[in-house]
Chains A and B, each alone.
Chain A
Amino acid sequence: MHDSLYHGPPEGGLLVAPLDEFTAVYHRASGITHLLTEPAPQILAILGEGALSLDALLDRLGLDYDLADGTREALAARLAELVESGLVERA
């Protein structure tokens, strides 16, 4: 079920502004602004480099960070939010 690839908007598709606790992300394609909290901006940054599966994304996050609650379920929940918002697409 989790084998599908996730990818972010094409390069230049987002305007990103870190705002202390939040990261504001303007999605050019939809004209909608999103306020993200961790770990969403980190996930988005990685998926902006290329499409990854859930497991590959989890591995990649583990390379870059010490993960707390680093389970597939937790990551799947965060990805579902990003897909729902339109910032990430499931291919």
Chain B
Amino acid sequence: MSDETRSYQDPADHGSAAPSADGVGAEAVPTRRRVLALGAVTAGAVVSIRPALAQTVGSVLNCEIPVPDPGRAGSYIDADGKVVPARTKGAFPPSSRPFKGEEVKRAMANGSTLPGTDSERSRAYVKYIRRLQRGQGGFTCFASLQMPRG
């Protein structure tokens, strides 16, 4: 039950820069700074575990992604893939039909354009699709496309 004085490993530890009136008296050691290696990881510092729904390979290529999702139908998509009000200058009108998972997968894999679009519009749409989040139309389809290539 004793208070072990462990090295504090909270990633958000800020090492209390401001002098504080601490009555604890446990700070005999001057702030021991941790060493953090920024480049030591060559294989990457992030491994993503996709949701189980990504296992549904069969349906992936036929699922559909509307641009934008039905909740925001009629809105335009700007060059960064953000949904903006209709007729925003420089933004692209919504897609007249949803894209098939296969079409999106191809566009994301090799940069080919989505059917019925030119390269700039296609790029904007793909950015929009990459930003999809759970609960938005097409997210499940998009998440399924994120499987590691087998």
Q: Which residues of A contact B (CB under 8 A)?
A: 18, 23, 28-42, 44-46, 48-49, 61, 63-71, 73-75, 77-78, 81-82, 84-85, 87
Contact = CB atoms under 8 A, between A and B. Distances in A.
A70 B39 CA distance: 7
Among all A-B residue pairs, the 3 with the closest Cβ atoms:
A69-B39, A74-B39, A65-B36
Contacts of B49: 32-35
Q: Name the residue among B11, B50, B133, B143 with the largest chain A CB count within 10 angstroms.
A: B11
Contact of B36 (A33, A34, A38): A38
A66 B39 contact: no
A28 B133 CA distance: 9
B134 A29 contact: yes
Nearest to A74: B39
B51 A81 contact: no
Interface residues of B, number: 28
A20 B17 CA distance: 27
Interface of B: 9-15, 17, 33-41, 44-51, 133-134, 143
Nearest to A76: B38
Contacts of A48: 12
A74 to B, nearest CB: 3
Given A38-B37, A39-B45, 20 more contacts: A31-B134, A31-B143, A38-B36, A39-B36, A39-B37, A44-B11, A63-B15, A64-B14, A66-B36, A68-B36, A68-B39, A68-B40, A69-B38, A71-B39, A74-B38, A74-B39, A75-B38, A81-B46, A85-B46, A85-B48
